[in-house]
Amino acid sequence: MKTVLILGATSDIAVALAKKFAEQQYNIQLAARKPAQLKLLQAEIKISYKVNCTIHAFDAIQYYTHHEFFGNLIPKPDVVISIFGATENEYEAFNDWDIAQRMINTNYTGVVSILNIVSKHYIGQKKGTIIGISSIAGDRGKASTLVYGSSKAALNTYLSGLRNKCFKENVHVMTVKPGFVKTRMTTSFKLPKILAATPTEFSQILYCSYQQKKDVVYVKWFWKYIMLMVKCIPEFQFKKMK
Ligand SMILES: NC(=O)c1ccc[n+]([C@@H]2O[C@H](COP(=O)([O-])OP(=O)(O)OC[C@H]3O[C@@H](n4cnc5c(N)ncnc54)[C@H](OP(=O)(O)O)[C@@H]3O)[C@@H](O)[C@H]2O)c1
């Protein structure tokens, strides 16, 4: 029986993913900075899907704890999904370095820290899958997502490089770029119904793409073409747009 580790397991997307993998008879390792919040989910997974489910304390920006965190996992997971992320008010982030730094450290530095450790282990055993949740916001810099988008752009480049590094070692790295997903992160946004995915839809698309060993996945699929068009707009034009 395979095991999946979910980093940032208190997010709505993570809950849906944990249930999806449990339904497929994976054992589940849930990791979050507030592990006590995971007890109900753990019980639900164990009872509903009859798989093992464990809870682990993990803080993405406590980099120096990451070696011990991964070292203590028994068994080592076959699949690692990095979901944690921080979205802060961009106006405040522009004016307050602590806020900007927290976003950069959570969305980029923290992911690099833990996935370097995971990928070293996977390269050593010549198998494993790493799934990184990024965002379409990383595809092009915009005023409205200045710090968030640039941290996700850095993450995209890291995951692409990691995929390149790991390919010959039989380790698969998948980048997931959601558009809008209906979660607590987006409760304050007025999401156009057709553009937004539910966490359940997200989990189905991710699981299917993981099985197909895709490299880069947009959720939903049409974001790939929307972002292709956005990326084609010349910079002299793009800088004038909202
Ligand atoms: N929702 C969308 O429309 C959308 C679109 C594009 C990309 N995404 C990406 O999808 C992922 C999940 O987003 P979401 O919408 O589910 O957001 P969310 O509900 O705000 O979830 C964010 C998760 O990250 C965790 N987290 C934050 N800082 C952490 C830290 N230092 N250490 C460990 N965990 C930490 C949070 O844990 P706590 O419970 O402890 O706060 C929470 O579980 C994020 O990477 C986000 O950028 C979302």
CATH architecture of 3-238: 3-Layer(aba) Sandwich (3.40)
Q: Using a 6 Å cutoff on CB, does residue 111 contact ligand 1?
A: no
What ligand 1 atom has the least distance to the C-alpha of 184? 19
Structure tokens at 99: 């806020």
In this prediction, residue 184 has a pLDDT band, given cuts at 50, 70 and 90, of confident
Determine whether the shortest distance from the Cβ of 113 to ligand 1 is under 6 A: no
Distance, in Å, from the CA atom of 48 to the CA atom of 158, rounded to the nearest integer, reads: 36
211 backbone dihedrals φ, ψ, rounded to 5° = -65, -35
Do residues 160 and 115 touch, judged by C-beta distance below 8 A? no
Nearest residue (by CA) to ligand 1, atom 26, is 84
Q: Is the CB of 106 under 6 A from ligand 1?
A: yes
The per-residue pLDDT for range 21-38, each reduced to its tens digit, is 999 999 999 999 999 999
Q: Record the tokens describing residue 140, joined without a space.
A: 């092009």
104 CB within 6 A, ligand 1: no
- 216-233 burial code (b ≥16 CB/10 A, e <16): bbbbbeebbeebeeeeee
- Radius of gyration of the chain from its Cα atoms, rounded to whole angstroms: 18
Q: Which residues pair with 133 in a beta bridge?
A: 176
At residue 172 the predicted structure's pLDDT band, cuts being 50, 70 and 90, is: very high
Q: For residue 74, name the pLDDT band (cuts at 50, 70, 90).
A: very high
- Domain regions of the chain by residue span: 3-238
Q: Tell me how far apart the alpha carbons of residues 187 and 117 are, in angstroms, rounded to a whole number.
A: 34
Q: Output the CA 76–ligand 1 centroid distance in Å.
A: 23
DSSP letter for each residue of 152-178: HHHHHHHHHHHHHHHGGGTEEEEEEEE
Q: What is the DSSP letter of 76?
A: P
